Structure 1
């Protein structure tokens, strides 16, 4: 195992964004390790570089002008954390919500474990409740909105 600097770890994590933003399969083949585990994916989902790239391409087909814009990023040891804003316009079914044509803008946090120049593990936290609110599929009250009267 080759030791990597935190700067190298961070750069690899940032380069992973090219898989989603640009649909760059070569980046996936180069950076996604054979033993890669994506804890964000549903149990039993296909694994590996090709599967990760297929997920990215599917997302790009659901969301027109999909972008994952880095807002903040840092590395500590063999892990890198990226806070980003995802945006796009829904043009196909997403998790049971038919295409709405609505623009969304939501926050994600991604954590990558990197060793020997490749990503071995990925965790993510996405604000899916806010995403579904923006799509009109969930009616979360906005901050400062009046509270409903208690039931009698």
Structure 2
């Protein structure tokens, strides 16, 4: 496969999350697909990946993963995305806040024979939790609070 074909398959994987397109999952996700972002021992394959997408869309109203950069070399493609959504149910122990978030992710896919076999991700979860009010990391350049006596 060409680098561009590998990149396009990775880009098309976004339809599973953004559009809830289970047919894309059935077509592009290999039956032995491993999602290294999921907890160890999680189910594998297209249905498991589609289930993760359904869950994320149920937690985040208006969830979108906007691709802002992408490239591929050999059998791997990398996407830099901006995730946005409004939290409407519990997420990783944080009760629904109703707050909207905007955070960056990096996703790497290994593609062979037209299907995705592996996925890795780096998400800025600290920033996500800061925006939800679950962590009090100050913004860059924001004044530091005065010490209390």
2:128 alignment counterpart: 131
- 1:1-150 equivalences under 5 Å are 4-147=1-144
Aligned length: 149
Distance 1:38 1:61 in 2: 20
Distance 2:146 2:58 in 1: 42
Secondary structure at 2:138 match in 1: coil
Distance 1:81 1:51 in 2: 21
TM-score (norm 2): 0.96
Q: Once the 2 structures are TM-superposed, how far is the Cα of residue 42 of structure 1 from its aligned partner? A: 0.3
Distance 2:58 2:30 in 1: 25
* Runs of 5+ unmatched residues, structure 2: none
Distance 1:137 1:110 in 2: 24
* Runs of 5+ unmatched residues, structure 1: none
Distance 1:145 1:102 in 2: 20
TM-score (norm 1): 0.94
Q: Once the 2 structures are TM-superposed, how far is the Cα of residue 6 of structure 1 from its aligned partner? A: 0.5
Distance 1:98 1:8 in 2: 40
Q: Once the 2 structures are TM-superposed, how far is the Cα of residue 21 of structure 1 from its aligned partner? A: 0.2
Distance 1:54 1:107 in 2: 22
Q: Which runs of 4+ in 1 moved over 6 A?
A: none
